Structure 1
């Protein structure tokens, strides 16, 4: 038996509105308490009517929300807010600010700088070895195609912080990494290796202050580069 969807009351948006504004409208249903984790969203046709937008706009918005982990689309059952969305508030906030690049970069910095200091105290020898493998893979990459290894480097550090309360932030962290990484047109492999090796050395020495400083240097460089590229477009 299919689960009935709740009728939602949201103001319509103009036809010129992009999918981002539909994302905002849907997320506000959670923020306002009108809908909650696990609730079923109305079907696409109803969303189209209530928001006064086309099907492609609705689908683009839903795809963005699914990528962010806010919703799950089930074949023949419909679209639902994720049951665990309440424990992943960063996904909701990220959905609201997905086009605010400075905010996304700063959120990533805030998360990673805290995680790397915890990692310096808790990282295992096995995790250090895995970190070094990512650095070697970047150094040996061809055509500067090392995005996945870069992402894995940051994921290992986040996990090594070994804190269950912040586990819900890690997926959001990786989403911000992917968003920022997609904006970088030219990569500097040797500089990336240098930055990562400095972070690795600080972690190996179990030095939280040095780990924080080297991670800050790395992320600030990325921030300045991405914001410059964005302003030139």
Structure 2
């Protein structure tokens, strides 16, 4: 990737294998190398297609992945821009580079949540526990097993109850990782989810970080196994 001296960013072309991921990597490198900054406008689609040597569908697939991760924003008639606050979400870039590796994303999610749940056990408030209980009841009473957003809210409350400004960017990335995992799950088991969430809730209500860690690991390891089954098919 070089600057041709005419203001145009020149990217190294990509090979035919794993094209979408390589395009994501090349675009992220424009940012991480310092060649472009948050808020900067990316080259046009035609320039990117020419420089990367890929088709329009491949480029748009990569741009969609980057937009989901909130690294870029596409504005009609204005172009595509790196988001101003990319730096406030430090794990989003790492998620982007692993966009097609769901098992790695699940493991990153495990790493974040297992740390957050132990802090949550020490700091969670009665109001937050009440909110957690409400999400469990809502999942238990769901009629069509379409409870992905409620599930995410359960994990969001726990993450926020860790009450640490340092973890703010991590929580943002955690929720992105949750969405990515949720979209790939082909079947849901409501009763099992309620059982797992209730065990986590009880540990938090008892302010027991060791039990909270144990129950969260049990829950997320089950999610990891479901993802592994999907990838073996």
TM-score normalised per structure 1 = 0.92
Partner of 2:219: 218
User: Partner of 2:132 in structure 1?
Assistant: 131
Q: Quote the offset at 1:9 in angstroms.
A: 2.4
Shift of 1:7: 2.1
Rounded to whole Å, the distance in 2 between the matches of 1:228 and 1:200 is 27
Unaligned runs of 5+ in 2: 1-5
Q: Would you say 1:9 and 2:10 are equivalent positions?
A: yes
What is the CA RMSD across the aligned residues, in angstroms? 1.6
Identify the residue that residue 83 of structure 1 maps to in structure 2. Answer: 84
Cα distance, 1:17 vs structure 2: 5.1
Matched, 1:60 2:51: no
Q: Any conservation in 2 of the 1:6–1:41 contact (CA below 8 Å)?
A: no
Q: Go from structure 1 to structure 2 and tell me whether the alpha carbon gap of 1:177 and 1:38 turns closer, same or farther (over 3 Å shift).
A: same
Q: CA deviation at 1:31?
A: 2.0
Determine the structure 2 residue equivalent to 1:20.
21
Structure 1, unaligned stretches of length 5 or more? none
Q: How high is the TM-score relative to the length of structure 2?
A: 0.92
SS in 2 for 1:182: helix
Partner SS for 1:185: coil
CA contact (8 A) 2:135 2:150 kept: yes
Q: Residues 135 and 23 from structure 1, CA distance in 2 versus in 1: closer, same or farther, beyond 3 angstroms?
A: same
Q: Deviations over 1:142-161 (max 9, x none)?
A: 13221111111011111111
Q: How does 1:33-44 map to 2 (within 5 A)?
A: 33-44=34-45
Tell me, what secondary structure is at the counterpart of 2:10? coil
What is the alpha-carbon distance in structure 1 between the residues aligned to residue 182 and residue 8 of structure 2? 38
Deviates more, 1:115-124 or 1:73-82: 73-82
Following superposition, the deviation at residue 128 of structure 1 comes to 0.9
Contact 1:6 1:42 in 2 (8 A): no
Residue aligning to 2:52: 51
Contact 1:65 1:95 in 2 (8 A): yes
Give, in whole Å, the separation in 2 of the partners of 1:7 and 1:169.
34
For 2:193 and 2:113, the matched residues in 1 are separated by: 16
Whole-Å separation in 1 of the counterparts to 2:119 and 2:18 = 42
- 1:72 counterpart SS class: strand
Shift of 1:76: 2.9
Give secondary structure in 2 for the equivalent of 1:141: coil
